[in-house]
Amino acid sequence: MIIHPLHLLLLLIKILLFRSIFALDFVFNGFDSSDLLIYGNATLESRVLTVTNDTTFSIGRALYQSKIPTKSPNSSAVLPFSTSFIFSIAPSKSKNILPGHGLVFIFVPSTGIDGSSSAQHLGLFNRTNDGDSNNHVFGIEFDVFENQEFNDRSDNHVGIDVNSLTSVTAEDAGYWPDDDDSFEELSLNNGVNYQVWIDYLDSQLNVTMAPVGLRRPRQPLMAVDLNLSDVLLEEMYVGFCGATGRLAENHRILSWSFSNSNFSLSEELITMNLPSFVPPNNSFFRSKGFIAGITVATIVAIGFSILISLVLVKGKQRRRRDREAMEDWELEYWPHRMTYQDVSTATKGFSEENVIGIGGNGKVYKGVLVGGIEVAVKRISHESGDKMREFLAEVSSLGRLKHRNLVGLRGWCKREKESLILIYDYMENGSLDKRVFECEESMILSWEDRVRVLKDVAAGVMYLHEGWEARVLHRDIKASNVLLDKDMNGRLADFGLARMHGHGQVANTTRVVGTVGYMAPEVVRSGRASAQTDVFCFGVLILEVACGRRPIEDGKPPLVEWVWGLMERGELVSALDERLKARGGFDDEEVERVLHLGLLCAYPDHHSRPTMRQVVKVLEGKSEVDELEEEGMNVYLLDKLKSTKMWSKHRRSLGRGGHPTFKEIRESLTSSMPLFGSDIIVEGR
C-alpha cells in the first residue's frame, strides 16, 4: 500500500486530536485486582489473570475497569487503537482431557457474562445470539477446537469475530519471521507464552503474534480491511473471555497494554522472567499410564515410523499423480459430471436468495436442473489441498453409496483447480432439528414420526457400517445432519467427515472431529473414531429427538446424564418431550424402550454399546432381549445391567455393592484406562 504524505499528515493530526481529547493509555505488567472487573470463573493469582483453569465447563471474563472511548463523539469515526498482550494456553494436568476451547480478546458493550455459554461458544455468545448484529461485539479468538458449526479452519487458529463465532477471517496460529519467508506455525495450547499485537487504524486491522521475547514480526499474521463503525458503540468495555467445555485447558493473560495514540506502547510490556506454564516433560513419565503404556507406545511408535516412511516414499509419487489419479477415478465413478454452466443456471448464478443452508463446508443452494429436477448444490470454494482431499473422500464415498436413507449424490462439477461443487437430491422437508427444536407447534414431529425417522437413520448408519466393502464412519451424526425428504423419510447427510477404512480395523485420526455434545468419551480422550463412536452419536440423537432437548444446554446437566438420572429414579418416561406429552399419541412402554436404547448406545464404555445392526433390530421390534443376549450383547435393558459382566466389573472396581451411578462408571473408566496411545496421536499432529 502506498500512503500519500498528505494522508499521513492527516492521520497524524487525527491521532494527535484523539490523543488530546480522548487518549487512553494503560500498561499492566501483571494485574492488581483494582485493574480489572472479573466475572464467572476467572481469577487473579500472583498478578496473573486466569481466565479459566482446566475445570470443565467454565467461563471466565475480565474487562478493563471502565468503559473506554471507541468513537469520536457524534461521529461514526472509530478511534485508532493499538493493544498488545501476553497469553498462555496450557493443557490440562489431567492427561485424559483433550484441550479446548479458546481465548478471545474482546470489545463488548456491557459488563458481566450474561448470555454467554461455555464450550464452543468461548464464553462470548450463546446458541441464540451468535451472529446477531445487535451484539456489538468484536473479538480476536485463539481457538484450539475445529468446530464445524462455525466453519473453523483448523484446531489451532486465530480468527477475527464480528458479532459471531463464525470468523470474518481466520489463519492458523503462527508468524512470519522477518528474515525468512516461510511461515512458522505456533501451537496455541502448549503452555508457551505468546505475545499478540492488535492494531487498528483507518479501517485496517492487523493481528500479529510471536513467541514472547521475539521482536514484533514486520509482517502481520492477518491484515484486513474492516470498518468497525457499525460494530463498536461510542464507548465499549475491552478485555478477555474464554471457556472450557468437556474439553478443557488453562487460559491465562500475563500482561496487557492498550493505547489510542501510541502505537509503540507495547514495548512497555516486560518479556523477561515471566512465569512459565509449559507442562514439565517428566509429568508424563511419572503418570500411572506410562509403565503400562510404554510397551504399547513402543509398538505403536514402531508402527507409526514404518507408516510414516511408507507415506514419505509414496507421498512424492502420489502428489505428482494426484491430478491424473483423480481423472481416472472420475471416469470410473462419475458418469454424472455436470458443466459449471448448468449448475450456475440452476442456482440462478449462486444467488443469495437460493441459499438454503450453511454447512460445515460451505453454502448450500437450492437449484432446479433442466427438466425441473430440484437439487441442493453444495459449493466448496477455494479450498486448500487438505480440504480438497476431504471432499474427494466425501464424493467418492457418497457417490458410490446408494441407500434410501442416505441423501443421494446426483453429480458433481469442478470449477478451476481448487473448487468443487456437489449436487445432491433436494430434501423438501429440511432438517430434523428444525422439526424437533425450532418450529411452530404444527410443524413438530409426532412421536410416531420421530421413531420412524430414527429407524431410517439407523438403517442409513448400518448401511454405512456394514453395507459396503469398506466401512464408512459418519463421525458427525446429529439432528441437523438428518434431512427429511418429501415423504418425510429420514436421510443422513453430510459425509464431509467420512473417511473410509477396511472392515475390522480401527480408524486412526490425528485430529478430533465432530460436534461438541455428540462426541463419545473415548473420542474426547483419544481422538479415535470407530463404529462405536457413531453408535454413541446415534444414542445422543435418539435422546435429543425423544426428549426435545439439545445434548448440551446452558445451566442444565448434559442430556445423557440427565436421562440416566431419571432412569435410575424410575422416572424415565418423564424425559419425553413436553410438547409430545401434551399431545399424546405414544405408548409409555415404547417410549421407555426407545430411551433405554438411546442410553445404551450412549453408554460411556464403548465395549458395551450395541452394534448398529442390533440397534436396527431393536427399533424394528424384531429383537427381544434374550435374543440380543444370545448374540453376545451382554447389556440391553439397563436395569438388567446388574446381572451382566460389565456391571459387576464396575461394581468391583468401585469396591462396593449396589448400583454405580452414571458418573461413577464414567469416572472409573477414565481412571482405569490410561491413554498412552492418545498422547502419541494427539501430539503427533
Known binding residues for ATP are: 378
Contact 154, 513 (CB under 8 A): no
Interface with ligand NAG, residue 257, by CB under 6 A: no
Minimum separation from the CB atom of position 194 to ligand NAG (A): 16
Omega of the bond prior to 251 within 30 degrees of 0, cis?
A: no
**For residues 206 and 287, which CB has a smaller minimum distance to ligand NAG in the complex?**
206
Minimum separation from the CB atom of position 243 to ligand NAG (A): 10
Give the interface segment with ligand NAG, choosing from 71-79, 184-192, 445-453, 521-529 (CB under 6 A). Answer: 71-79
**Number of Cβ atoms within 10 Å of the Cβ of 26:** 16
**For residues 201 and 573, which CB has a smaller minimum distance to ligand NAG in the complex?**
201
Q: Is 554 a catalytic residue?
A: no
Interface with ligand NAG, residue 73, by CB under 6 A: yes
Helical residues (DSSP H) of 334-404, grouped into ranges: 340-346, 385-400
Residue list 184-203, contact with ligand NAG (CB under 6 A): 199, 201-203
The C-alpha cell that represents 479 in the structure block? 439432528
Contact 155, 511 (CB under 8 A): yes
Minimum separation from the CB atom of position 238 to ligand NAG (A): 17
**For residues 64 and 125, which CB has a smaller minimum distance to ligand NAG in the complex?**
125
Query: 102 φ, ψ to 5°?
Result: 165, 175
Query: 493 φ, ψ to 5°?
Result: -120, 175
Phi-psi region of 649 (alpha: psi -120 to 50; beta: other; left: phi over 0): alpha
**For residues 42 and 461, which CB has a smaller minimum distance to ligand NAG in the complex?**
42
Handedness of CA 658, 661, 664, 668 (dihedral sign): positive
Query: 223 φ, ψ to 5°?
Result: -130, 110
Cα 112 to chain centroid, rounded: 25
Minimum separation from the CB atom of position 341 to ligand NAG (A): 37
**Annotated active-site residue in 130, 155, 476, 494:** 476
Interface with ligand NAG, residue 233, by CB under 6 A: no
Handedness of CA 6, 8, 9, 11 (dihedral sign): positive
Interface with ligand NAG, residue 43, by CB under 6 A: yes
Closest residue to ligand NAG, judged by C-beta, is 115
Give the interface segment with ligand NAG, choosing from 176-184, 264-272, 365-373, 580-588 (CB under 6 A). Answer: 264-272
| 562: CB partners within 8 A, 6+ apart | 549, 556, 575
Q: Binding ligand NAG by CB under 6 A: which of 169, 206, 344, 611?
A: 206
DSSP letter, residue 583: H
Q: Binding ligand NAG by CB under 6 A: which of 178, 185, 267, 428?
A: 267
Interface with ligand NAG, residue 679, by CB under 6 A: no
From residue 319 to residue 348, the character string flagging contacts with ligand NAG as x (rule: CB under 6 A) and all else as - is ------------------------------
Interface with ligand NAG, residue 126, by CB under 6 A: yes
**For residues 53 and 508, which CB has a smaller minimum distance to ligand NAG in the complex?**
53
**For residues 282 and 442, which CB has a smaller minimum distance to ligand NAG in the complex?**
282
Q: Binding ligand NAG by CB under 6 A: which of 124, 209, 248, 265?
A: 265
Distances (CA, A) of 532 to 40, 298, 528: 36, 26, 10
DSSP per-residue codes, 10-54: HHHHHHHHHHHHH--EEEEES--TTTEEEEET-EEETTEEEEE-S
Residue list 479-508, contact with ligand NAG (CB under 6 A): none
Residue list 352-381, contact with ligand NAG (CB under 6 A): none
Give the interface segment with ligand NAG, choosing from 70-78, 159-167, 422-430, 467-475 (CB under 6 A). Answer: 70-78
**For residues 235 and 268, which CB has a smaller minimum distance to ligand NAG in the complex?**
268
**For residues 40 and 102, which CB has a smaller minimum distance to ligand NAG in the complex?**
40
Q: Binding ligand NAG by CB under 6 A: which of 110, 133, 227, 446?
A: 227
Residue list 281-300, contact with ligand NAG (CB under 6 A): 281
Distances (CA, A) of 126 to 106, 129, 139, 231: 15, 6, 15, 18
The C-alpha cell that represents 186 in the structure block? 505456533
Interface with ligand NAG, residue 74, by CB under 6 A: yes
Contact 168, 225 (CB under 8 A): no
Contact 115, 131 (CB under 8 A): no
Interface with ligand NAG, residue 151, by CB under 6 A: no
Q: Binding ligand NAG by CB under 6 A: which of 28, 40, 49, 174?
A: 40
Interface with ligand NAG, residue 268, by CB under 6 A: yes
Residue list 551-610, contact with ligand NAG (CB under 6 A): 554
Cα dihedral value 467, 472, 475, 481, nearest 10: -60
| 419: CB partners within 8 A, 6+ apart | 379, 380, 381, 382, 383
Interface with ligand NAG, residue 383, by CB under 6 A: no
Minimum separation from the CB atom of position 197 to ligand NAG (A): 9
> What is the distance between the terminal CA atoms of the chain, rounded to a whole angstrom?
37
**For residues 166 and 204, which CB has a smaller minimum distance to ligand NAG in the complex?**
204
**Cα–Cα distance for residue pair 593/543, rounded to 1 Å:** 11
Interface with ligand NAG, residue 262, by CB under 6 A: yes
| 194: CB partners within 8 A, 6+ apart | 86, 87, 88, 186, 188, 209, 210, 211, 212
Interface with ligand NAG, residue 110, by CB under 6 A: no
**For residues 53 and 668, which CB has a smaller minimum distance to ligand NAG in the complex?**
53
Nearest to 110 by CA among 241, 306, 246, 260: 241
Minimum separation from the CB atom of position 73 to ligand NAG (A): 4
Minimum separation from the CB atom of position 281 to ligand NAG (A): 4
Q: Report CA Rg, the chain.
A: 27
Number of residues that bind ligand NAG (CB under 6 A): 36
Give the interface segment with ligand NAG, choosing from 148-156, 265-273, 429-437, 587-595 (CB under 6 A). Answer: 265-273
Hey, which residues are catalytic here?
Answer: 476
Residues of the shown chain interacting with ligand NAG in the complex, contacts defined by CB under 6 A: 1, 40-41, 43, 53, 55, 58, 73-74, 76, 115, 126-129, 199, 201-204, 206, 219-220, 223, 227, 229-230, 262, 264-265, 267-268, 278, 280-281, 554
